[in-house]
Amino acid sequence: MTNTSAMTALQTLRRVTGDLETTQDRISTGLKVNNAKDNAAYWSIATTMKADVAGFKAVKESLELGSGTTNTASVASKNIVENLQTLKARVIAGQTNGVDKTLIQNDVDQLVKLIKGAAADASFNGDNLLRVTYSNDGTAKDKNVSILASLSRSDSTVDPSYIEFQRQDMRVESIVGKATIEQQVDSTNATKAKVDIKFGAPGDTFINGQNLGLGKLTLTVTKENGTKADVSVDLSAQTYDTNLATTQGNIATAVNTALTAAGADFQVAFTGDTLTFTDQDVNTDGNFTAQISGLWVGSKESDAFGGLADLTQIDVVNNSKKSLEVINSLLDSAIGKAAVIGSIENRVSVQNDFVSKLTDSMNKGIGALVDADMNEESSRLQALQVQQQLAIQALSIANQGPQNILSLFR
């Protein structure tokens, strides 16, 4: 009624068959810990680490995107600096008497267009690190940039960290044009200088109360007695006030106040979009009259002015000395901005390499916990197959034992 030998043989067969199934599962999946029942502790650790690896893959994708964006901006900023160096050489050449300054100015204008195009084209996936946009109140609304750089897990929380920096505005956008300055010292013309300042249609470029983005208006006045006076008018607090006429009137008042304080026989007024400097005591006999030189309208970064806005005023024909002074400043500014972009480009590259190595290290750690040793499993498979065959034979022998009892009844 009870075949003990068969029961033992069957238990052995079941054990061997179970071990064989486990080995076959490890060979087919490549894992020695495929689910929690295999090893709850290792499975829990590996599952958590796999989630971390998935997170770092997302981080790497963010860094790859950031790398493309910073690389594009870096190439463009380098091109801008090189063109500014060439432009500076042209402006220096324009300081010499006897050269055709008109031809030099043509080269300058083409270089300015190249710089403007480089800043506008430095876009990767719609993101341009050389362009800043501003709100109607004059504040930058997208200057700060964050690139996901890493993830740090502690207990049940995951904290992201970022590479944070600011866009470097290198746009050549300006509402101010080139100043036209009278070149004949003995001229009897009352109008000595003018400069275009185009504020645009009301509510278009500016809204009521918005800062205009102007800086200092500077010039040198030569008086009737031959003495010179430097005039500087701070326009940085000027805002778009009610309408265009009021705004222009406020600027003219500020400039006229400074001219009067300097003892200059000049007054200014807007004619359309042009700020005109007129001599109030013009000589009609052709003798020496008052003169203006170095007229320049500074700016600060805003919607109306890009980071390299002053390039639009470079003029070796009418304003060569001031143009040289400004181009030096612009070149220094562009080099500084390009250096920031280059530094961020390098930081993103280093972080990207680190995340790649960190991900490989984590995958290696996961593998040590859950990966099967295929050499060992292959050898074990063969051994278990032999054991299974022997267990089947042992069970067969054990099952034949009771048949011997039949011979006792013959």
| pLDDT, the chain, mean | 89
Least confident of 24-28, 135-139, 164-168: 135-139
Above 90 in pLDDT, residue 221? Answer: yes
- Per-residue pLDDT reduced to its tens digit, 78-94: 999 999 999 999 999 99
Higher pLDDT: 309 or 375? It is 309
Above 80 in pLDDT, residue 365? Answer: yes
DSSP track, 54-96: HHHHHHHHHHHHHHHHHHHHHHHHHHHHHHHHHHHHHHHHTTS
Contact (Cβ atoms closer than 8 angstroms) between residue 173 and residue 374: no
Residues 210 and 295 reside in one and the same domain? yes
Domain tally, the chain: 2
Residues 180 and 151 reside in one and the same domain? no
pLDDT of residue 297: 97
Above 80 in pLDDT, residue 349? Answer: yes
pLDDT of residue 137: 67
Contact (Cβ atoms closer than 8 angstroms) between residue 259 and residue 234: no
Task: Give the end-to-end CA distance of the chain in Å, rounded to a whole number.
Answer: 20
Residue 373 lies in a domain: no
Pull the structure tokens for residue 213: 């983005």
Report residue 398's pLDDT band, with 50, 70 and 90 as the boundaries. Answer: confident
Above 80 in pLDDT, residue 2? Answer: no
Residue 376 lies in a domain: no
CATH number at residue 69: 1.20.1330.10
pLDDT of residue 295: 96
Q: What is the pLDDT averaged over residues 25-39?
A: 81
Above 70 in pLDDT, residue 150? Answer: yes
- Per-residue pLDDT reduced to its tens digit, 100-117: 999 999 999 999 999 999
Q: Which domain holds residue 294?
A: 176-305
Residue 221 lies in a domain: yes
Residue 374 lies in a domain: no
- Per-residue pLDDT reduced to its tens digit, 276-329: 999 988 777 767 788 999 999 999 988 889 999 999 999 999 999 999 999 999
Residues 153 and 110 reside in one and the same domain? yes
